[in-house]
Every structure is written in C-alpha cells, then in structure tokens.
C-alpha cells in the first residue's frame, strides 16, 4: 500500500486534476477571467496577453507551439550528431539486454516490456525458474500495441491492480497519450480476456481497489461536486459488480479544500481486507480512518500524527514512518503498533521503534515479505540493504551482503511470499537485480545490465559544497579519468530539491553513451528539499524558506567553478517538474553562472500554479499565492515574473508535453513567450503526447534525449 504522498508524486492510482482536455480548458478559461485583473509582474504589465497559452488545445496556442517546435527541431535535428545520438539512445532503450524487472505473484514473475517490436509494450509472465534462467520463456498476458491498433487509441499502459491471492482478476489502467487521467478496465489474466460486463471506469484521475471479487473501493470523478479544488477525488464509494457506476454507494466524503480523499483495502495475513481511507488535508498533513466493513458509517480516525505515512502490516504490526515528533519518537523514525489492538480498543497503546536514523542517515524505502521487512538505508546518500524482524516484543535487524558505495533499493516484494527482488547500481556499475529469500537468507544474482559505455575509464566522486547558511551540501561528479582541470570541461549539473525526493547514485546507459563518452561531466546535486537526510532535509526548504534550496544549488555550481572543473561558459543545468522550477529560478537569479538550461515540464508561474491542474495540491510545498506573506515570497522567486528585458540570459531549452495533465504546459509556454517578447534566445519542444514524462513511448524518449544532448553539446562543447 503506497503512501498518499508517493501516489500523488507518481500520479498513478489516485490521480490528479481533471477529466479531459475539455475540462482543462474550461477550468483555465474560468480561472483566467477571475484572476486576469490581479496578476502583475514587477514592471506592472498584466499577464493577460499570455493567458491564451493556458488553453491546452487552443488554436492560437498550438500555432505558437508549432512555430517554436519547428525552429528548434530544424536546428537540432540538422546537427550531424543528432542522428547518431537518437540511434544510440533508441538502441539502448529497445535493447533486449535490459533488465526485465518483475513483480512476484503466486509463484509467477510478471513484467511489463517495451522494445522495437513492442513500442507500447506487453504485460507478460513466466515461472520463477524460467525467469532466472538464460533463456526465459515468456507468456504474453496483454499486448498494448495490438489493443491500441484494434481500438484506434494511443494507449499508454499505466499498470494493473490484481486481486490476491490468485491474481486472476485485474484492473488495468490505460491512458490516452500518457496523461495521468486513465481508464481502468477489468481483465482476466488467466483467460487473457476483458471481463464481460466487468468493472470499467470513465477516464479520470482516481483509483480503484479490490475489496473482494465482486466489490471495488472507488474514488474518481463522479461528476459535479465530487472533486477537490486540487482536482483529486473527494468521495469514496463501494461499487458492486453489476451496478452502474452511478449506483455505487458513498461511504465517506472529504472537503473541497482538501488535497483529496483516497480509499483502499489493506490485505492482511489471513487474506481478509480492511478499508482504510486517507483524507489528505494538505500534501503533507493527513487524517487516516479505518472503516469497519459491517458498519460503513462508523469510520474511526486512527490516532497517528498528521505528518506521517501509514504503511502495510507485518506480523500483526502496522508500520508508520514519522515526519514529525510523536509520543517520544523523532521525525524520521519508523515505528509500529498492533492493528488488531487498535481495532479492538480504537486506541494505540504500545508503539515500538523499528528504525531511527542519525544525522547522516535516512530511510530510502522498505518492502514487506512473508518473513522479513527489507529496508534500504542510506548514509551520505550511499545506501545498503537490511532485513528487520519482529519477535513479538521488539524489532531486530541485520545488514545484507550487497555491493556498497552505490544505491541498493528494495524492488518487488509480496507479503505472501519470501522471494524478494533487490537492485544494486552506481554511476559506473550497471544495475544488477538480485533475488533474496527472506526465509532462508539466500541471495543470488538474477539479471544484470551490460556495460553500455567505458566506465573503467571514468571516476565517480562525492564532494561537499558550503551553502550560504553554512550547510554542507553533497554532490557527485562523474567524469573521465585524467581530465584537465582548466575550466573548459562541458559539465551538466542536475538537481530537483523538493517533495522529499532523494537523488541517488544510478547507472544511466543513455547518459553514459550520449554525454560521458562524448567528453561531458555529469554532476548530481543533493540539495535541500529532497529526502537524502530525512524529513528535516526536506522541511528546511518548505514555503517561504525555499531560497535555501536555490542557495544550495548555486553553491554547488560555484564550487565546480572554483575547482576549475568547468566555467560558466561550459556549465549547463537540467531539471524537470519541480526541478524545472529550480531551473527557472537559476536562470533568473544567477544567469551569469550557466550557458545552457534544460527546463523540462516545469512550474514557472508561481502566482497561478495553484489554479492550474494539480497545482492546488502543492500549496503545502510552495505556499499559497492567496496568503500575502507567501505571495510576496512566491513573486520574488517566480521565474515567469522575474524575467527582465535588460538582463542577458543563457539560451534556455524548454521541454514539455501537450498532454501533461499534472504540470500544465502553460508554464513553459508563457515563459517562452515572455522570452520571445523581450528578445531573449530560447529553444522549445512540446511533444503532443507523453504526459508528465514528455514521451509516450521509447521512440519519443530517444528523440527527446537526442535533442537535449545535441543542445548541450552545441552550448557547452562548441561554445555557441
């Protein structure tokens, strides 16, 4: 059971804002009229002349987009390096040597696979022995390419939720073009057929969860008044087989001001299910309820802190990660309590400490198997795996034997099985997937990526920069050995800095092939706002304290220049989504530091972000433009409002997607238009499909990667 925060971030089962592009346009038109008279930039000029760019499929907006696309594509695709980069990227992305990551269900390994023959992909399965062999025999369950062709839809597969313990009945999520909004349809994985008269939802950003084979817990857009102002479900219902969706029985309702109301079923050890509902009042503050199945009106609030994440159950202990101090425990701790005891007494009596990080450590994540709780724990951003167990009175643990000095992550686990999958990787060591038997403690290498670039000729080192307030900020540098420190090395600095998302050492074949082998240096900055050092590292940069995140990133850039690893002429930066906001703040606050900026699927208008798509749900992270103190700060950092005609900016490459229904493409469009109005140089590429990833399939991903790397080479190596 994913936490609410995780689900909102990935935008999958619990959705985001609106039902369709038509509703997006309707909302944007309405909010535009309400706010047109109060939105000003520093020069006093209204934003009204750019609001048409928020009309996702508006003719005028798309005409502008197409013109910008044509200019950018003409320049970048005509570069002699483009064809090879696109070919190299596509070869890697389509390679049959990729690791087929699996989930383990009832003795079967399930995988979703994409390659040159399966552009949209196939859902397939095999036996565990076959999977571990060198000649795996796969059985196709659902072919998305064939389905898209038969139904004349640009279907993008977004996963499945199957009914345990036999996993035969499944709800398959399909998105038109890669949007967060999707259709969920009932599929029989054994007969490989759509269930006749089965469950099917309209296109919506919401979710379903199996309560039993004839009942779904459902939260979607049920029509007017059923969504929060953030665009998430506000109502939870039980939907019985054979009912029309409008006949589903409501059992809980939130408030329009909430982020959302998210209901699901917790599967217990005896295969029974309990209904849990999370009412997310803000992005980081939630109330969690247990709803007795025999009395749906008797919802009981679980007395846990609002800043915490309730996990799954292990040996009758339910796990709880804390983002604030509580009952003598500290923010960052993982604790547990008896769920049976809570259901009986409707109180939490005994709380047990599972894991407590120190100042240099944090919990990356965990997975539950039949016999152990497996955890990835990092220290100074480098992680290791541990196995935890509950003996009835206390928790014990031991470290597992996996490669050190990189990232060890807990992959697929199943609380009904002992077989788990654990992944290890580093910047220069390809991903390796391991099986771990939590019952016996045996582990074995299952799959490994090949070397796609000459990593033996390269080094990866960690350094620390000193931020403006004295905080030590870690960052990694990946480069060819023996590079001369003369300030001329083309260098790409990447960052995110938000939502407690950690950036860990990872192997990227495309980054190695397209950038490192071509003489580029890659730098990963672990700035505040992320989760690298737990909740406090994230919370240090919330709302009006956010400038520390940007100071951290600037300190890393300045440190690279001080070391003469590079210089402003050869230093580029990249970030997407919240990282796109980071990029916008960088090119407005410190345009002197950079010569290239890849600003992908970004937030840039911070005075209207909460009016666009899922933006209202992020007020807990950024602050609210409706609160005077927070509005003043947001205006001070808002890239769209801080572009100055007299300032010389680096040429920015804006990348977005028309069908991104999480971060509105209007952010990138309007900022590009302001650049154009003021005569600043920029490139722009908006993919029609692709959603928040800006690519709906591997071909589109290869194209985007080639465009971005040609741009970086032109700016940072050629010095254009």
* Distance in angstroms (rounded) separating the CA atoms of residues 184 and 204: 9
* 174 Cβ contact list (under 8 Å, min separation 6): 144, 147, 153, 155, 156, 157, 158, 182, 183, 184, 185
pLDDT one-digit tens code per residue, 55-79 = 999 999 999 999 999 999 999 999 9
In angstroms, rounded to a whole number, what is the distance separating the alpha carbons of residues 319 and 109? Answer: 26
Name the catalytic one among 50, 110, 118, 692.
692
CA atoms of 597 and 583, how far apart (whole Å): 7
3-state secondary structure of 209: strand
Long-range contacts of 164-167 (CB under 8 A, 24+ apart): 164/105, 164/106, 164/267, 164/271, 164/416, 165/106, 165/271, 165/416, 166/106, 167/105, 167/106, 167/108
Residue 660 has what pLDDT? Answer: 79
**Euclidean distance between CA atoms 670 and 688, whole angstroms:** 17
Distance of alpha carbon 389 from alpha carbon 234, whole angstroms: 37
For this structure, is 692 an active site residue? yes
Which CATH code fits 59-90+452-660+667-717? 3.40.50.1820
Angle at 149 between CA 144 and CA 155, to 5 degrees: 45
Q: φ and ψ at 431, to 5 degrees?
A: -60, 135
pLDDT of residue 693: 52
Annotated active-site residue 577? The verdict is yes
Residue 675 makes CB contacts below 8 A (sequence gap 6+) with 643, 649, 652, 681, 682
State how far the Cα of 211 lies from the Cα of 164, in Å rounded to an integer.
Answer: 10
Q: Evaluate the omega torsion of the peptide bond into residue 165 and state whether it is cis, within 30 degrees of 0.
A: yes
> Domain limits of the chain?
1-15+206-302, 59-90+452-660+667-717
From 32, 308, 577, 617, the catalytic residue? 577
Mean pLDDT by 10 residues, the chain (720 residues): 36 25 29 32 53 93 96 98 97 92 93 93 96 95 97 94 95 90 95 97 93 97 93 95 96 95 94 96 95 94 97 96 97 97 96 97 96 97 97 96 93 94 97 96 94 95 98 98 94 97 96 96 98 96 98 98 98 97 98 98 96 91 97 98 97 93 92 97 85 65 96 94
Q: Taking Cα atoms as reference points, which of 571, 514, 496, 573 lies closest to residue 705? A: 514
Q: Give the burial class of 619: count Cβ atoms within 10 A of its Cβ; 0-12 exposed, 13-18 middle, 19 or more buried.
A: buried
Please, are residues 324 and 308 in contact by the beta-carbon 8 Å criterion?
A: yes
Q: What is the pLDDT of residue 659?
A: 81
Phi, psi values for residue 402, rounded to 5°:
-125, 160
User: 510: closest CA among 98, 119, 157?
Assistant: 98
- What is the rounded distance in angstroms from the CA atom of residue 505 to the CA atom of residue 27? 40
Cβ atoms of 651 and 681 within 8 Å: the answer is: yes
361 touches 337 (CB < 8 A): no
Q: What is the layout of strands, in order, in the sheet containing 155-162?
A: 155-162, 169-176, 183-188, 193-194
Question: 84: which 2 tokens?
Answer: 């090879």
pLDDT, position 48: 60
Query: Are the C-beta atoms of residues 142 and 159 closer than 8 Å to each other?
Result: no
Least Cα distance to 622 among 614, 634, 611, 638 occurs for: 634
For residue 47, the model assigns a pLDDT of 57
pTM of the model: 0.87
- CA distances to 33, 455, 581, 614 from 603, in Å: 21, 35, 5, 11
pLDDT of res. 488: 96
Q: H/E element holding 413?
A: none
Among residues 234, 286, 242, the alpha carbon closest in space to that of 260 is found at 234
| Residue with token string 């509105």 | 664
pLDDT of residue 511: 97
Which contacts (CB < 8 Å, 24+ apart) does range 543-548 have? 543/621, 543/622, 543/623, 543/630, 543/633, 544/623, 544/629, 544/630, 544/633, 546/622, 546/623, 546/633, 546/637, 547/637, 548/467, 548/468, 548/469, 548/471
Dist CA 139 CA 79 (whole Å) = 42
């Amino acid at each position: 059971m994913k936490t609410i925060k995780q689900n909102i971030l990935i935008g999958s089962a619990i959705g985001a804002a609106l039902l369709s592009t038509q509703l997006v346009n309707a909302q944007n038109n309405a909010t535009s009229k309400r706010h047109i008279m109060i939105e000003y930039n520093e020069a006093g000029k209204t934003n009204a002349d750019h609001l048409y760019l928020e009309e996702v499929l508006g003719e005028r907006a798309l005409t502008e987009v197409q013109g910008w696309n044509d200019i950018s594509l003409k320049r970048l695709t005509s570069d002699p390096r483009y064809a090879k980069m696109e070919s190299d990227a596509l070869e890697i992305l389509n390679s049959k040597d990729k690791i087929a990551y699996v989930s383990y269900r009832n003795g079967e390994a399930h995988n979703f696979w994409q390659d040159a023959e399966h552009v949209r992909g196939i859902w397939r399965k095999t036996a565990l022995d076959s999977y571990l062999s060198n000649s795996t025999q796969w059985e196709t369950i659902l072919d998305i390419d064939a389905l898209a062709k038969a139904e004349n839809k640009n279907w993008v597969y977004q996963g499945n939720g199957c009914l345990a313990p036999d996993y035969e009945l499944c709800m398959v999520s399909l998105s038109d073009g890669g949007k967060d909004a999707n259709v969920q349809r009932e599929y029989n994985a054994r007969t490989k057929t759509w269930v006749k008269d089965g469950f099917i939802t309209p296109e919506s950003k919401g979710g379903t969860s199996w309560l039993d084979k004839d009942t779904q817990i459902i939260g979607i857009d049920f029509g007017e008044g059923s969504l929060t102002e953030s665009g998430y479900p506000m109502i939870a219902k039980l939907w019985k087989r054979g009912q029309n969706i409008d006949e589903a029985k409501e059992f809980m309702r939130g408030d329009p001001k909430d982020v959302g109301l998210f209901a699901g079923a917790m599967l217990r050890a005896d295969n029974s299910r309990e209904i849990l509902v999370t009412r997310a009042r803000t992005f980081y503050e939630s109330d969690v309820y247990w709803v007795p199945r025999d009395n749906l009106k008797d919802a009981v609030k679980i007395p846990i802190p609002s800043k915490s994440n309730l996990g799954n159950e292990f040996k009758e202990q339910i796990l709880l990660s804390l983002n604030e101090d509580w009952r003598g425990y500290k923010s960052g701790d993982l604790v547990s309590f008896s769920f049976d005891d809570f259901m009986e007494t409707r109180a939490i009596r005994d709380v047990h400490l599972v894991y407590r990080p120190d100042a240099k450590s944090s919990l990356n994540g965990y997975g539950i198997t039949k016999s152990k709780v497996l955890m990835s724990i990092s220290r100074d951003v480098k992680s290791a795996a541990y196995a935890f167990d509950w003996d009835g009175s206390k928790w014990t643990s031991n470290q597992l034997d996996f490669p050190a000095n990189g990232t060890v992550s807990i992959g697929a686990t199943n609380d009904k099985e002992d077989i788990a999958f654990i992944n290890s990787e580093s910047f220069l060591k390809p991903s390796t997937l391991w099986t771990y038997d939590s019952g016996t403690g045996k582990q074995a290498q299952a799959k490994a990526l090949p070397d796609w670039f000459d990593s033996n000729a390269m080094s990866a080192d960690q350094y620390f920069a000193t931020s403006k307030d004295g905080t030590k900020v870690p960052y990694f540098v990946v480069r060819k050995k023996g590079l001369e420190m003369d300030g001329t090395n083309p260098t790409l600095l990447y960052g995110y800095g938000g939502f407690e998302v950690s950036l860990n050492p990872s192997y990227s074949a495309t980054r190695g092939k397209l950038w490192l082998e071509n003489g580029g240096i890659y730098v990963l900055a672990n700035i505040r706002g992320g989760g690298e050092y737990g909740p406090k590292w994230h919370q240090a940069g919330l709302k009006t304290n956010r400038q520390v995140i940007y100071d951290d990133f600037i300190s890393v850039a300045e440190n690279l220049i001080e070391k003469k690893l590079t210089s402003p002429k050869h230093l580029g930066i990249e970030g997407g989504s919240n990282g796109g906001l980071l990029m916008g703040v960088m090119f407005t606050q410190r345009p002197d530091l950079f010569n290239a900026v890849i600003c992908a699927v970004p937030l840039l208008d911070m005075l209207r972000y909460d009016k666009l798509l899922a933006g209202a749900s992020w007020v807990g992270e950024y602050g609210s433009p409706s609160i005077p103190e927070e509005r003043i700060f947001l205006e001070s950092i808002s890239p769209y409002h801080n572009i100055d005609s007299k300032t010389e900016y680096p040429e920015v490459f804006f990348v977005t997607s028309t069908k991104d229904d999480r971060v509105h493409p209007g952010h990138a469009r309007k900022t590009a238009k302001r650049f154009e109005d003021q005569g600043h140089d920029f490139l722009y590429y908006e993919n029609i499909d692709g959603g928040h990833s800006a690519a709906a399939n591997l071909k589109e991903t290869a194209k985007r990667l080639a465009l971005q790397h040609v741009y970086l080479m032109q700016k940072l190596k050629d010095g254009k």
